[in-house]
Amino acid sequence: MERMKCRECKKGAVKNGRSKAGIQRYCCKECKKYWQTSYVYKAREEYIDQQIIVLKKEGCGMRSISRILKISLVTVLRRIKSIAGRIGRPFAILKGKEYEVDEMRTYIGNRQRLYWVVYAMRRDTREVIDFKVGKRNLKTLSRVIETALLSEAKKIYTDGYELYKSLVPREIHRQTKYNINHIERKN
């Protein structure tokens, strides 16, 4: 029996038959995961998730990523969903900082299915501290504003959207279209 390390738990694994293409398969005794050392279909390779992330950051569309990596469009979509599921909420909040809050409209599938991405960003480091995806309503906005308020924000800068007036206390709220340049640039 040949001993090999598991990709997931790094424990010992053993040979476990061959694939249809004749490539050796392995099984982990601890976590019961199966894998091969090489694959015929490139989407199974370990580096593909990293490549998808890099290409997405560069602004490539789904079909472009599929074509460049020579994998199926459905596989790209599934991988992006699994990568997104592993992303945790950002949580690097310091007290007494200034924040910019803004919302951005997008759609899924067709233009009738509108969604809004509301997020707050620190002014000094331009780091996103919280975000929420949903409808453009009080519930979606209040979750992001609540995070900024819990961090005892010194100032919160927003655009001219009226719901912000009811959520942010007047003494720390600055409603202007010129002082939120950083977050607008990110949009």
pLDDT digits (tens, 9 = 90+) for 108-142: 777 888 888 888 888 888 888 888 888 878 888 88
Does pLDDT of 2 surpass 60? no
* Residue 23 banded pLDDT, cuts 50, 70, 90: confident
Residues 72 and 57 in one domain: yes
User: Domains in the chain: how many in total?
Assistant: 3
DSSP E strands in the chain: the ranges are 4-5, 12-18, 24-28, 34-36, 98-107, 114-122, 128-134, 155-158, 173-175
Q: Domain for residue 150, yes or no?
A: yes
Give residue-wise pLDDT tens across range 64-112.
999 999 888 998 998 888 888 887 765 656 788 888 888 888 877 778 8
* Residue 1 banded pLDDT, cuts 50, 70, 90: very low
Q: Domain for residue 151, yes or no?
A: yes
Does pLDDT of 49 surpass 60? yes
Residues 73 and 102 in one domain: no
What pLDDT, on the 0 to 100 scale, is given for residue 24? 83
Angle between helix 73-85 and 48-57 (nearest 10): 90
CA–CA distances in Å: residue 111 to residues 49, 64, 114, 131: 29, 22, 6, 22
Residues 68 and 122 in one domain: no
Q: Which domain holds residue 117?
A: 98-186
Residues 104 and 178 in one domain: yes
Tell me the CATH number at 127.
3.30.420.10
Would you call 156 helix, strand, or coil by DSSP? Answer: strand
Residues 172 and 123 in one domain: yes
CA proximity to 79, closest of 43, 33, 39 = 43
Residues 126 and 171 in one domain: yes
Are the beta carbons of 136 and 154 closer than 8 angstroms? no
The one-letter amino acid code at 34 reads Y
Q: Domain for residue 45, yes or no?
A: yes
Q: Whole-angstrom Cα distance, residue 132 to residue 134? A: 7
- Looking at every residue in the chain, the average pLDDT score rounds to 80
Q: Domain for residue 92, yes or no?
A: no
